[in-house]
Structure 1
Amino acid sequence: MKENLPVCHHCSKMDCIRKHGLARSGVQRYYCTSCKRTFQVRYIYLGNETNILRQVKALLDEGKSRVEISQTLGVSQGIIDRHIYLITLEEEEKVGD
């Protein structure tokens, strides 16, 4: 009997997922045969969560500083800097269109 496998975080398909060993933390990893990428359902370090970019964007819109955002989300300032960089790249693409 096939157990319920998760939906791919990258391509959102669920019919081509297979187990792919364990992470160092002991959490189950999965492999998507469609997009050929691996992912975990649950991450121990919050900087890897899929919705962190949206959270950073929302906190920036509220006027929070980098330090306040990193303390609120429980991640390092380097991760916040990376996401701010990604947000600016995304906004530049929108302006260029």
Structure 2
Amino acid sequence: MVLEAVSCKHCGQTKHVKRYGTTRAGTQRYRCYDCGRTFVQTYTHKARDPLVKEQITQMVLNGAGIRDTARVLGVNRNTVSAQFKKLAS
């Protein structure tokens, strides 16, 4: 049995990450006790992944359109629009 160090997707910490139950689909959830956030190692839906949200933010700030961003990242345009509205407020 090989143990892998799980790093937090938000702050990058590996020391204080513990298992934190499962999702409804049965995948393992983790919690980082440094930043207090929970996350899943591999997301079922791309739009839930914080890295994809960061890419949406970068593409919108660089002037890419909503439909172009959605097409490139493989997410729904409503997801891109909702992330854009969060940036505007």
TM superposition score normalised by structure 2: 0.72
Residue 75 of structure 1: how far off its partner (Å): 1.6
Aligned to 1:65: 65
1:23 & 1:68 partners in 2: Cα distance?
31
CA RMSD of aligned residues (A): 2.5
Give me the identity figure in percent: 24
Residues 5, 68 of structure 1: alpha-carbon distance in 2 compared, 3 angstrom cutoff: same
Query: How many residues of Structure 1 are paired with residues of Structure 2 in the alignment?
Result: 88
Aligned to 1:33: 33
Corresponding letter in the other structure for 2:10: H
Residues 26, 70 of structure 1: alpha-carbon distance in 2 compared, 3 angstrom cutoff: same
Higher gyration radius (CA): 1
1:65 & 1:35 partners in 2: Cα distance?
32
TM superposition score normalised by structure 1: 0.68
Residues 12, 64 of structure 1: alpha-carbon distance in 2 compared, 3 angstrom cutoff: closer
Alignment of 1:1-97 (within 5 A): 3-57=3-57, 59-60=59-60, 61=62, 64-88=64-88
1:33 & 1:55 partners in 2: Cα distance?
25
- Partners of 1:66 and 1:77 within 8 A in 2: yes
